[in-house]
Chains A and B, each alone.
Chain A
Amino acid sequence: EVQLVETGGGLIQPGGSLRLSCAVSGFTVNSNYMSWVRQAPGRGLEWVSVIYSGGSTYYADSVKGRFSISRDNSKNTVDLQMNSLRAEDTAMYYCARLNCYPGSCQGGWFDPWGQGTLVTVSS
């Protein structure tokens, strides 16, 4: 069964750091494109970051230089290291697989999704 389970969320003070993890079962993370998408309370969806099967990474401008995506092939997990956190980073963070066509992610779509982990940045 394909399943994604996010952990690591919680309450953190502005300027602090947090590491989220996404445990994947049913497929291997190193053969797929894995992404993080967040949703602030009462707001819409915002893409955060993606890591390609080849290791390339991309980030939204809002988190570039502060967040870092990585994967652990031995544990079959995808992590999001979040530094210099701000109040505006408060959101539910979802892990999702980005489905791409052979040779290109142009036209890619997210499926499946995890249930999310809540990050609250507040003093």
Chain B
Amino acid sequence: IQLTQSPSSLSPSVGDRVTITCRASQGISSFLAWYQQKPGKAPKLLIYAASTLQSGVPSRFRGSGSGTDFTLTISSLQPEDVATYYCQQLNSYPITFGQGTRLEIK
């Protein structure tokens, strides 16, 4: 199952609402997770089961979608949100990740 993220990169301003999309090549129900990876660090889980916020993750992060189309939304961008974001599916093996969306601050 291929996951295609869009856009590949974006440069919003602090306080902006940010939306990242992940499209699956076939239906995966709600079997999608989102990760944040800061430079030189390991990925960090943000959201699983498409919309469940991991404990300790700020509420400005929200996941939605099912089937083939999914969205990660940051309601009000903060400077510490600069990172690359990945989606991941485990509807079936092999486990796959999207190619990543690089988020910078304008």
Contacts and interface: CB of A to CB of B under 8 A. Distances in A.
Interface of A: 35, 37, 44-47, 50, 58, 60-61, 94, 98-99, 105-116
Nearest to A6: B42
Contacts of A47: 94-97
A116 B33 CA distance: 20
Contacts, number: 65
Secondary structure at the A interface, as helix, strand, loop or mixed, is strand
Contacts of B41: 115
A106 B91 contact: yes
Given A46-B97, A47-B96, A94-B42, A110 B33 contact: yes
Contact of B48 (A35, A60, A109): A109
B99 A109 contact: no
Contacts of A111: 45, 48, 54
Nearest to A112: B45
A50 B43 CA distance: 17
